[in-house]
Structure 1
Amino acid sequence: MTSAPEPSLDQVFQAISDPTRRGLVEILIRGPASVSSLARPFDMTLSAVMQHLQVLIDSGLVTTEKVGRVRTCRIDVTALRRAEAWLSGQRTVWEHRLDRLDLLLSTPTPSDRTGRPDMTDRSVLVSSFAIERTYPAGPDRVFAAWADPRSKARWFAGTNAEHHELDFRPGGVEVTRGKNPEGKPLTFESRYHDIVPAERIVYSSALLVERNPVTISVTTVQFQPTDGGTTLLLTEQDTFLDGHEQPEWRESGTNGWLTALMHELAATVTP
């Protein structure tokens, strides 16, 4: 098997800047493929496809292995995670800044009789959302990615987390610690209430900033077998306190780590 050693982030972004190479990556995320099968969907010669693959190999996104006359390509999820971590960090910072600015511009500032802002205001916002994803792996494998502490740390906690621990059992607790964009201590703590292997997970969570709860949630994750894979349905009910977090931020973040789960499963696909 060959792979480019420690490619730079610039190489990764340059590799996926081309639509053909992005198409190759999207195919390989679904599982390993031979060079000839990769070339079929594209209106170009096998030689041209090989040139694109070489760019992906040099960037560290793809590895290849030749057995007999067949060369098989696979995604190396490490490079994807580095690019995603960088983009996620930038997106989080700017979304937070823009949403805070929008909140400041759209919300009248209450004041007391002296005209000073009233710093004792409190608010409660209750909302819910549901996300459905289909993964090219059976329910047992998708469920295992939630149950295994090392796997869960990779795709859920990510590289920005300072600490992650998982006690995956009814009554068990999962804790992730890090910092928010302002550098304040951030803790996400979940308690598992119901676990049916390969069928469902139910847990409640609290997001705390400097030990102060800002969002309380209840989440249900269901796993349904489909042809060649699993449909995952995540339903979450949230209570947002005092405007520290917004519903769209929570849903966007959940979408982000469900995409990371896709990459985690792709990295452990067996031929």
Structure 2
Amino acid sequence: MKKRLLFLFSLLVVLATLTGCTEVNQDITAESEGIWNQYFVYPLSRLIIYFAELFGENYGLSIIIVTLIIRFALLPLMIKQTRSSKAMQALQPEMQKLKEKYSSKDQKTQQELQKETMALFQQNGVNPLAGCFPILIQMPVLIAFYHAIMRTGEISTHDFLWFDLGEKDPYYILPLVAGATTFIQQKIMMASGAAMQNPQMAMMLWIMPIMIIVFAINFPAALSLYWVVGNIFMIVQTLLIKGPDIKLTAESTGGAKK
């Protein structure tokens, strides 16, 4: 689990670097250079402007609409990721039994643990890496949309509901809602008792919402709005998508019971 968390964190850092986070304060225009700007950020910026103009210069509503469009477009990948996560959660009790059985740290014992763990995955049709690949595709799109929101100059000159889109939420309502919805989303994903007993998973349950709140407090409200809408979509998606019906066979559990 530590290696997986380290991998995901490293992936986020690399993607943030490769996608030009240094340009986040530069307005995106048709003259912006680079593949990232021309084929990812600028089209999304134009999409935001299009829907805003369609609804009477309502950029807040436009952000909501484009967020939902992107989320629905990524839905097949998100379904695959969600089902993979639920499948891994379903196997957590048996994986824990294997770890207890092969508790010795010597190399031979650890090799046996790895062998039986992989056999458990195969017998139940679970690919432990299946949840990582959708993230690789989703992240550039979501980061590009983040750039589009931050770098579309027209957004900062409009308001929505009680806040100015280009300024921080004066009442901190959006940051708190963003943090709360992040917590709820993760709580649902970690619904299995085994997942909650994992120290790293339990720690992330609290760290991520706190990080989102801190970021949201310091960023324009337009970005917080995007986070809130995206989180609500993910909560509904997670509740509606069922994980695979994993029925552990005698062969898959036999190793842990010997």
TM-score normalised to the size of structure 1?
0.29
Give the strand-richer structure, 1 or 2: 1
**More contact order relative to length (CA 8 Å, sep ≥ 6):** 2
Give the helix-richer structure, 1 or 2: 2
